[in-house]
Amino acid sequence: MAETVAPTGEMKRSLTLTGVTVNAMALIAPGAFLWTTFQVQAALSRGGTSTAPDMWTGLLFALVLAMLTAYSYSELARIYPDAGTGSSYYFAEAALLDRSKPNRRHFARFAKLSVGWISHLYYWIYPGIMVAFTATLFGYIYSALFNHTLSYFPLALVAIAFSFIVGYIAYRGITGSTNTNIVILVVQTISLIAITVWFIFYRVGHPHQAWDLANAAHVVIPHSYVNMLYQSTIAILLLVGFESITALGAEAIRPEKDIKRGVIISLLIQGGICYLFEYFGANFAVSPHTLAAPAGTSGYAAAATNSAPIGTMLQQTIGKGGTAVSVLVALTVLLALIGTTLACLNTGVRVTYSMAKDKEMPSILGLLHGDFATPHTAIWILVALSAALGVFGANPHQVDNLTQITLASNTGTFLVYGFTCIIAVVAFASRHDRHPLKHLLIPGVGALMNIAELIGVVYIAVQGSGTSPGNAYKALGVVGLWCVIGALWVLLNPSSKHAKEVNKKRADQRQAGATV
């Protein structure tokens, strides 16, 4: 990739449209979550009734929501190409620094701090979740190869090692991260599309077997709109990450054009093509023959108790050699988790870097490496946190751990997405190019849907049985604690005066017609 030399203390502009798009696609991961979340989706019920038959329609609904949010991000990236590494943190401030209404400047700092701190619930917890997924997946692969189940201690070591490997790639710079992601995406996409074609081929070749869904139409037509909404609360998590490249503006060669395009293109390829196709094939092939459990359950019910239902489906449909194929596919998913963790880590530390540069976070988090031009201190701190969360979430004896940190991260995700849609409405409110459909209806509906999805996720968890309510309350406790920490930091920040001066300077320059 082309690379321009940056002045000392600045990041290097090295990313083309392909580069920014690939980094977003890596975080979404075109198929990895088919393997990691199919069990959770199959297990989701409402009032004792399975919602699994609406898995594909829930994904489609989630894709519509994601597209509304992605469009809001892309429009903000278009009018604020100078956002650099700030993403929504920068957008929130810029939207309120309106030349015609200078009284809004008092709210600009509050808005950007709120969005910036909440962003960390998403970007700083999510890599740890991926580390936990990776350790668990490694355990599956090891068990399949050697017929031996790993205990918690080796899984914890895998989580730690994986965190530091990914951290080292991020530390070396975004160009190396991008090249790594390109290879991973090609291998993973070919693998998962191939197994999807196989599932469809198998179903068509066995028309007389019993199937959970009678035909292809039953996969793509809602059985229950309420069940579809339930499924969408999980399906949306497959699609998050399209916005990550808005934090790469300082490293894009043409941020004014490529960031906007990359947001939309990445989501269309990943969600609109890869995931919809892959979930169609997997649901089309669910049957008592392809999925059965020792307890006597089969189909979706068996998938709900199977830690790797896609692997089991491959073994049952292929027969001899099925285990080898499932292990190979699991290895490609393992590669994809490298790309996902890497992309989220890169995004998270860049938002942190932007806040630290404004003195809204400790200055040490804003230091750039002299050779690689990466926020290296923030990277290694996030690596350590990801390792700790990975060890916590990968504990096979405490399966609720992963649920708790996932709920906390998801809360941050929906809040950031919802706030960004609102920011888009505010940003275009007084612009001459404001369009009622593009800049009011689309982001407005996007904000409402994101908040509704957040309420849905929390409601399902609180109303669930067993340990589900306790997990929800613990996750919400983490969110509340982080907000309190943020408020205390703002009040006690030793650089608060400097931070306010930065905000005032930006306000004065924007009101004078300058672009900061």
The tokens describing 344, both together, are: 């989220």
As a whole number of angstroms, the distance between CA 476 and CA 398 comes to 19
C-alpha 261/C-alpha 19 separation (Å) is: 12
CA 141 – CA 137 distance, rounded (Å): 6
Arithmetic mean of pLDDT over the chain: 86
With cut-offs at 50, 70 and 90, classify the pLDDT of residue 31.
Answer: low
In a domain, 173, yes or no: yes
Cα–Cα dist 27/298, whole Å? 33
Whole-number Å distance between alpha carbons of 95 and 79: 10
Query: Can you give the pLDDT at residue 6?
Result: 41
* Residue 336 and residue 22 in contact, taking contact as beta carbons nearer than 8 Å: no
Q: Which residue has the higher pLDDT, 255 or 511?
A: 255
pLDDT at 371: 83
Q: In angstroms, what CA-CA distances link 281 with 1, 271, 313, 331? A: 36, 14, 11, 20
Q: Identify the residue with better confidence: 283 or 507.
A: 283
Residues 350-407: tens digit of each pLDDT: 889 989 988 889 889 988 887 878 899 999 999 999 999 999 999 988 878 988 998 8
User: In the 8-state DSSP scheme, what is residue 193?
Assistant: H
**118 located within any domain:** yes
Is residue 137 within 8 Å of residue 333, measured between CB atoms? yes
Q: Reduced to 3 states, what is the DSSP secondary structure of residue 298?
A: strand
Residue 1 lies in a domain: no
Tell me whether residue 516 is in a domain: no
In the numeric block, which tokens belong to residue 309?
Answer: 């239902």
- What's the average model confidence in pLDDT over 399-422? 90
| Residue recorded with tokens 């609406």 | 54
CA gyration radius, the chain: 23
**Residue 19 and residue 88: Cα distance in Å, rounded?**
20
Distance between first and last Cα of the chain: 27
2 within domain boundaries: no
Residue 403 forms part of a structural domain: yes
CB of 369 closer than 8 Å to CB of 224: no
pLDDT for 4: 41
318: domain CATH number is 1.20.1740.10
Residue 340 has pLDDT above 70, yes or no: yes
- pTM of this prediction? 0.86
Question: Is position 82 within any domain?
Answer: yes
Does 418 or 501 have the greater pLDDT score? 418
Q: How many of the other CB atoms lie within 10 Å of CB of 259? A: 29
Half-sphere exposure of 207 toward its Cβ, with a 13 Å CA cutoff? 2
Angle between helix 468-492 and helix 400-428 axes, rounded to 10 deg:
50
H helices of 299-321, in order, are 300-303, 309-318
pLDDT of residue 293: 84
Q: Alpha-carbon distance 157 to 145, whole Å?
A: 19
pLDDT above 90 (res 54): yes
Task: Please give the C-alpha separations between residue 296 and each of 268, 410, 424, in angstroms, as whole numbers.
Answer: 40, 34, 52
Structure tokens at 358: 């404004």
What's the structural domain count of the chain? 1
CA distance 173 to 106: 36
Instruction: Quick: pLDDT tens for 143-187.
Output: 988 989 999 999 999 999 999 999 998 888 766 667 777 887 888
For residue 132, is it within any domain?
yes
Q: 15 pLDDT exceeds 80?
A: no
**Is the Cβ–Cβ distance between 253 and 4 less than 8 Å?**
yes
Cβ(337)–Cβ(71) below 8 Å = no
At residue 47, does pLDDT exceed 60? yes
Nearest in space to 319 (alpha carbons), one of 281, 295, 289, 297: 289
Domain that holds residue 254: 17-511
**What pLDDT was estimated at residue 374?**
87
In this prediction, residue 5 has a pLDDT band, given cuts at 50, 70 and 90, of very low
Name 136's Cβ contacts closer than 8 Å, sequence gap at least 6: 155, 307, 394, 396
CA pair distance 18, 44, nearest whole angstrom? 37
Comparing 33-37, 318-322, 495-499, which segment has the lowest mean pLDDT?
Answer: 495-499
Range of lowest pLDDT (57-61, 276-280, 284-288, 454-458): 454-458
